[in-house]
Amino acid sequence: MEAMADLERTGRSWLTDAVIYGIYPQSFQDSNGDGIGDLRGVIDRLDYIVSLGVDAIWFNPCFVSPFHDAGYDVADYLRIAPRYGTNDDLVELVEKAGQRGIRILLDLVVGHTSIEHEWFRTELAADGPHPEGDRYIWRTDEPERGWESDLPGTPQWVRSPGPRQGWYLKNFYDEQPALNFGWVRTDPAQPWRDPVDGPGPKRNRQALKEILDFWLSKGVAGFRVDMAFSLVKDEGLRDGVLASAAIWQELREWLDDAYPDAVLIPEGEEPRTGARLAFDADFMLVIYAPHASLFDNHSAGRLPWHEPRPAFFDAAGEGSTELFLDTWAHLREVDPQRSILLATADHDFTRLRSGRAPEELGAALTFLFTWGSVPSLYYGDEIGMRYLPDLPNVEGAICSPLYNRAGCRTPMQWDDGPNAGFSAAPADSLYLPIDPDPDRPTVAAQDGVPGSTLTLVRELLALRRRTPALQGQAPTTVVNPGYPFAWLRGEDHLVVVNPRREPATLETDQAEGMEVLFGSGCDVTGDRIELDGFGYGILGRSR
């Protein structure tokens, strides 16, 4: 099969025009019948992935872990978790994906480890600080009030289970002790506040370099870095964020010599410090307001920072693009060509289809694939998989009493066979249940079917690939921020989408001389564009 991307393209510029496919490895394809997806299953499905028109695969963490938090609690950074396969399987995947023009990006969790990591076990068994500097943050005095919180993700102290006495700082769940990258502000009265250049933080920075080197030497194209800017602590002060960014700037200098083609993508926005940016993109996280204001209908529930605002891409047509556009402008302020990732969904967030009919997806997908971002297509969103409510708390999926992430982590739906083709295991042995709806969307039912969500995704990505103006480098200029939402790409392509059920009309000089190249329910007459409910169109100049 012809490669969909040119891997001979040097440097990191390929990311600018790329489309990423996000795979939650537990749930994509089980090759050995144990009910859990694995790397061999991904290898078996590579031709399908290529058929979508994507350029890279981003995996959620696949390293050795006790899976208290779905692999975001790493026990060995240098070994693939046995349930996914072996290091050799990953190397084979990198090679076979590369033959098809697909790069591999791994998820790297560096702010904390598992309590089962050898580093933590060693320090837990000690009777005091490590002579070369502690890798974790320990204190012997009882924590003061103000550190306590019932919300996972808020740093707080956990009493040591012994033999070492005292408390350790965690990042999320109790099983995720925070790694010690130092503190901006030190205090003799709080000796556990190591300086950023202390021996423990230096050990961890060296270890981070060794982890990057290990996987990059095996052909991995780069990493999406979890909690990239919360390494250095300081009670939420921006100083800690800036100090964390400095660590990555130091690492980028090393990468420039050792692995100049290595791509780094952060979780969230890289802070603008005036220094060179270390990462190759920003990631507009789907779980936070700028992205959520477009798509979140709160199917998965609400976290404390979720405001009950209506989604713009919703049939009621009561939302706004203002917050999204303001954030986009802010992220591009330093560099108008800065790559920004936008995802259909991810492992933490309700799916794009959730609460929406299939005919509503066209406008959203047209936006995501033509806006000028680096789109990240979450596995299953290409067929319109649904968020499933009320699923069990598997591997830390329920991170708040009001928020269940399991519903966006269910197995990929391939066909109408047992377990939707995901696994040969008994149904009660699956990682998570399959969508029980007999009309659940599947690849087999949509493959080659005109008008299906899968066909739409393939056609949109094919159009994007052959039209440079729809990729990442051409300017994006908003023509109308409301309903319909319209924007100009470059000088000669106009995209219009109407996510609401009611028709919408736009009169703009930009439509003069244009015709519909791709779309549904979209008509152009002179400077007037008329769209049906849920209509969308990609317009170009008449030849």
Question: How far is 174 from 156, CA to CA, in rounded Å?
Answer: 9
Question: How far is 22 from 405, CA to CA, in rounded Å?
Answer: 16
As a whole number, the mean pLDDT across the chain is 93
Model confidence over 130-141: pLDDT tens digits? Answer: 999 999 999 999
For the chain, what is the largest distance between any 2 Cα atoms, rounded to a whole number of angstroms?
A: 79
Q: What pLDDT score does 306 carry? A: 74
The verdict on pTM exceeding 0.85 is yes
Please tell me the least confidently modeled range out of 23-37, 229-243, 407-421, 494-508.
229-243
Give the model's confidence band at 237: pLDDT under 50 very low, under 70 low, under 90 confident, else very high: low
For residue 235, count other CB atoms closer than 10 A to its CB.
Answer: 12
* Mean pLDDT, residues 274-285 taken together: 93
Nearest to 16 by CA among 344, 474, 451, 326: 474
End-to-end CA, the chain: 33
> Is pLDDT at 307 greater than 90 in this prediction?
no
> Is pLDDT at 4 greater than 50 in this prediction?
no
* Fold of the domain built from segment(s) 13-109+284-464: TIM Barrel (3.20.20)
What type of residue sits at position 57?
I
Q: What pLDDT score does 253 carry? A: 97
Are the C-beta atoms of residues 133 and 200 closer than 8 Å to each other?
Answer: yes
The SS3 assignment for 293 reads helix
Query: Looking at 295-454, which runs of residues are DSSP E strands?
Result: 339-343, 374-378, 398-400, 403-404
DSSP string, 427-457: GGGSSSPPP--TT---HHHHTT-TT-HHHHH
> Is pLDDT at 103 greater than 90 in this prediction?
yes
Give how far Cα 228 sits from Cα of 108, 225, 437, Å. 9, 5, 39
Please tell me the least confidently modeled range out of 6-20, 114-128, 333-347, 475-489.
6-20
Q: What pLDDT score does 235 carry? A: 63
* Fold of the domain built from segment(s) 475-541: Immunoglobulin-like (2.60.40)
Question: How far is 385 from 377, CA to CA, in rounded Å?
Answer: 12
> Is pLDDT at 2 greater than 80 in this prediction?
no
Model confidence over 439-473: pLDDT tens digits? Answer: 999 999 999 999 999 999 999 999 999 999 999 99
Q: What pLDDT score does 84 carry? A: 98
Residue ranges of the domains in the chain?
A: 13-109+284-464, 112-178, 475-541
Are the C-beta atoms of residues 90 and 206 closer than 8 Å to each other?
Answer: no
Q: What pLDDT score does 518 carry? A: 98
* Fold of the domain built from segment(s) 112-178: Oligo-1,6-glucosidase; domain 2 (3.90.400)
